[in-house]
Amino acid sequence: MIRNTSGQTLTEYVLLLSVVVSSFYILNIGLSKMEIGKKFTKSITESFSNAYRNGHVKGKGYEDGGPEYHPRARAGGTNFRLFINPRKI
């Protein structure tokens, strides 16, 4: 007995494609709920930008609520000087 298998490969490809698409869809929903993108970009948007602008990872400028860990601020506390000029001391 020989069966007619003219549409079997097309059906298998459609089923395989539906499984692949649904798995990517479920993976995308799971990643968006866990907010993986925000966790990966947090160091770039906060730590690196603070280190670039203020000279320290935890640094805050005058526009962020007062200088903290700032190399050029003279307010004392957690601020520090990188280059000491003996004429201004």
| Residue 15 within a domain | yes
* Domain hosting residue 17, numbered range: 8-88
Confidence of residue 78 (pLDDT cuts 50, 70, 90): confident
Task: For residue 68, give the 3-state DSSP assignment.
Answer: strand
25-74 pLDDT tens trace:
999 888 888 887 788 888 778 778 777 777 777 777 777 777 777 776 66
pLDDT at 12: 94
Q: How many domains, the chain? A: 1
Confidence of residue 21 (pLDDT cuts 50, 70, 90): very high
| Residue 2 within a domain | no
Q: Is the pLDDT of residue 80 over 70?
A: no
| Residue 41 within a domain | yes
| Residue 13 within a domain | yes
**In 35-84, where does DSSP find H-type helix?**
36-42, 49-54
